[in-house]
Amino acid sequence: MGVANVIPGVSGGTMALILNFYDRLMESITLDLKVVFKNLPFLIPLGVGVIIGIVGLSSVMDLLFTDYPQQTYFGFIGIVFGSLPLIYSKAKKEEEIQGKSWILFVIALVLMIALTFANGDKASGEVLFTTLTPLSFIVCVVSMAVASITMLIPGISGSLVLIIIGMYQTIYIEGVANMNIGLLIPIVIGAAIGILGGAKLIRFLMSRFYQFTYMAILGLLVGSIIQLMSTCGFTGFNATFMVSMVVAIICFSIVYWFSLQEINRDKKEKLQ
């Protein structure tokens, strides 16, 4: 899940769904200390794994973005395509897709496309902050809070949100990969705010607007493919493109296999 949170276009929430611990994660993130202590045997190893994934992959992502941008983005595209069947299956888990749900899908898709064109070249943008100032503190807290909320929502990539608002390099490369303590302080604060508030929001949406929520997520996810394609650094039909396609197919196959396992589990639960 930590690795997924670093990869633009890949949702940590989707990864939690695929690996079948999303419901327990949402139940565990609360200010109710009794619930927290009850779930500590689950939360501690999960938290350690997330930190290892984020810290360990941030430096790797810096290398991949710098030296192998096209192959890297094609891998992300394959991952997102592989997760689409799972999100659609979740949307129709309780009932067939309604017309209103498709309207939300289109709205979310159009929104993501609009953000893609508004984004310009921020995906490869510069580090905005390197030191702790009142401005960098506020911007890092707000950015990480928003990203953390979206990280918990299946289908929405918190890293992609950071790219769209131009804060990916500051948060993950300057802050995490370079272990910039000044920036890590507001990053951690923002993450805590986003995770606690986001879990409560998601529980509300899932209980009241289950299908609407997943169809909106599906629209955002499809739109994120366009975002990734627009920033993949396509250089023509050459050897690099062929390698990129192989990477995309491998990533798609792995995630699609995990998606099928979750879809089959949902079908068995429905029959019971």
**DSSP states along 80-95:** HHHHHHHHHHHHTSSS
* Mean pLDDT on 218-247: 83
pLDDT at residue 151 in the model: 83
pLDDT at residue 127 in the model: 63
**Quick one: DSSP state of residue 9?**
T
pLDDT at residue 9 in the model: 62
pLDDT at residue 124 in the model: 44
Is residue 191 packed enough to be buried (19+ CB in 10 Å), middle (13-18) or exposed (0-12)? buried
Q: How far are the Cα atoms of 8, 45, 66, 84, 218 from residue 52, in angstroms, in the given order?
A: 18, 10, 22, 27, 29
In the numeric block, the tokens 């045997």 are attached to 41
Q: Is the pLDDT of residue 119 over 60?
A: no
pLDDT tier, 199 (very low <50, low <70, confident <90, very high otherwise): confident
Q: Is the pLDDT of residue 20 over 80?
A: no
Are 85 and 259 in contact by the 8 Å Cβ rule? The answer is yes
* Mean pLDDT on 199-224: 84
Q: Is the pLDDT of residue 72 over 90?
A: no
Q: Is the pLDDT of residue 195 over 80?
A: yes
127/211: higher pLDDT: 211
Taking the CA of residue 78 as centre, how many other CA atoms within 13 Å lie in the half-sphere pointing to its CB? Answer: 20
Are 190 and 142 in contact by the 8 Å Cβ rule? The answer is yes
Domain count of the chain?
1
pLDDT at residue 196 in the model: 87
Q: Is the pLDDT of residue 64 over 90?
A: no
Domain that holds residue 101: 2-271
Torsion, Cα of 95, 89, 191, 169 (10° steps): -140
Model pTM score: 0.70
Are 157 and 198 in contact by the 8 Å Cβ rule? The answer is no
**Range in 114-123, 238-247, 263-272 with the lowest mean pLDDT:** 114-123
pLDDT at residue 142 in the model: 93
